A and B are shown apart, each in its own frame.
Chain A
Amino acid sequence: MTATEVEVRQLPYVMAFNEAVRQCMREDENIFCAGEDIGAFGGVFGTFGGLQKEFGERRVVDTPISEQAIVGLGVGAAVMGLRPIVDLMFMDFMCVAMDQIVNQAAKLKYMFGGTARIPLTITCGGGAGLSAAAQHSQSLEALLCHIPGLKVVVPSSPYDMKGLMVSCIREDNPTVMVKHKRMLGVSGPVPEELYAIPLGVANIVRPGTDVTVVAYGRMVSEAMLAAEQLAEEGVECEIVDPRTLQPLDSATIVASARKTNRVVVVHEAVRFGGIGAEIAAQIQEEAFDYLDAPVGRIGAPFSPVPFSPVLEAIYIPNAARIADGIRATFGRPARSV
Chain B
Amino acid sequence: MELTDDTLRDLHRRMVRIRLFEEAAGRLAEANKLPGFLHLYVGEEAVAAGVCVALTDEDQITSTHRGHGHLVAKGGDFNRMMAELMAKSTGYCKGKGGSMHISDLELGMLGANGIVGAGTPIAVGAGFANKYRDNGKVAAAFFGDGATNIGAFHEAANMACALKLPVVFVCENNEYGEFTPRHKTMAITDIVDRAVGYGMPSVMVDGMDAVAVYEAAVEAVARARAGAGPSLIEAKTYRYYNHHGVQNLGLKYRPDAEVERWKERDAINGIQARMAEAGVMTPDQAEAVWAEIRADIDAAIKFADESPTPDPSMLLVDVYSQNVEAL
Contact = CB atoms under 8 A, between A and B. Distances in A.
B205 interface: no
Interface in A272-292: none
Interface stretch (B51-59, B156-164, B194-202, B308-316): B308-316
B87 to A, nearest CB: 4
Given A92-B114, A307-B98, A66 B149 contact: yes
Contact of A41 (B95, B96, B146, B180): B180
A130 B178 contact: no
B326 interface: no
Chain A contact residues (Cβ within 8 angstroms of B): what range?
35 or more
B146 A130 contact: no
B283 interface: no
B158 to A, nearest CB: 16
Contact of B115 (A62, A63, A92, A131): A92
A65 B36 contact: no
A315 B98 CA distance: 16
A88 B119 CA distance: 19
Contact of A307 (B93, B113, B179, B185): B93
Given A65-B146, A311-B312, A311-B315, A133 B95 contact: no
Given A40-B253, A314-B312, A306 B146 contact: no
Interface in A43-75: 44, 62-69
A336 to B, nearest CB: 13
B97 A307 contact: yes
A77 to B, nearest CB: 18
Interface string B171-214: 00000011110001110000000000000000000000000000
B95 A36 contact: no
A310 B149 contact: no
A216 to B, nearest CB: 24
Contacts of B178: 36-37, 41, 44
A135 B115 contact: yes
A148 B244 CA distance: 38
Interface in B295-327: 309-310, 312, 314-316, 319
Of residues A67, A306, A307, A314, which shows the largest number of chain B Cβ atoms within 10 Å of its Cβ?
Answer: A307
Contacts of A185: none
A66 B146 CA distance: 9
A286 B55 CA distance: 64
B314 A307 contact: no
A304 B114 CA distance: 14
Contact of A131 (B87, B152, B177, B315): B87
Contacts of A66: 149-151
A302 interface: yes
Chain B contact residues (Cβ within 8 angstroms of A): what range?
35 or more
B98 A65 contact: no
B36 A131 contact: yes
Nearest to A306: B96
Contacts of A65: 116-117, 146-147, 149-150, 177, 185
B36 A310 contact: no
B149 A64 contact: yes
A293 interface: no
A301 B117 CA distance: 29
Interface in A195-238: none
Contacts of B114: 92, 133-136
B253 A64 contact: no
A40 B116 CA distance: 21
A311 B253 CA distance: 36
Interface in A310-337: 310-311, 314-315
Nearest to B36: A131
Contacts of B113: 135
A310 B101 CA distance: 17
A36 B150 contact: no
Nearest to B185: A64
A93 B117 CA distance: 12
A315 B177 CA distance: 32
A62 B315 contact: no
Contacts of A301: 315-316
A64 B186 contact: yes
B150 A311 contact: no
A41 B244 CA distance: 14
A309 interface: yes
A306 to B, nearest CB: 5
Contact of A308 (B95, B146, B177, B253): B95
B35 A131 contact: yes
A307 B35 contact: yes
B180 A315 contact: no
Contacts of A40: 179-180, 251, 253
A308 B90 CA distance: 12
A132 interface: yes
B149 A307 contact: no
A96 interface: yes
A96 B151 CA distance: 9
Contacts of B319: 302-304
B140 interface: no
16 contacts: A36-B177, A36-B178, A64-B185, A65-B147, A96-B115, A96-B152, A133-B36, A133-B96, A133-B97, A134-B97, A136-B114, A306-B96, A307-B97, A307-B101, A308-B98, A314-B315
Given A40-B253, A303-B319, A307-B101, 20 more contacts: A37-B180, A40-B251, A41-B178, A62-B184, A64-B177, A65-B147, A95-B115, A96-B151, A133-B101, A135-B113, A135-B115, A301-B315, A306-B95, A306-B310, A307-B95, A307-B96, A308-B310, A310-B87, A310-B310, A311-B312
Give the 7 A-B residue pairs with the shortest CB-CB distance, closest first.
A135-B114, A64-B149, A307-B98, A131-B35, A131-B36, A64-B185, A308-B95
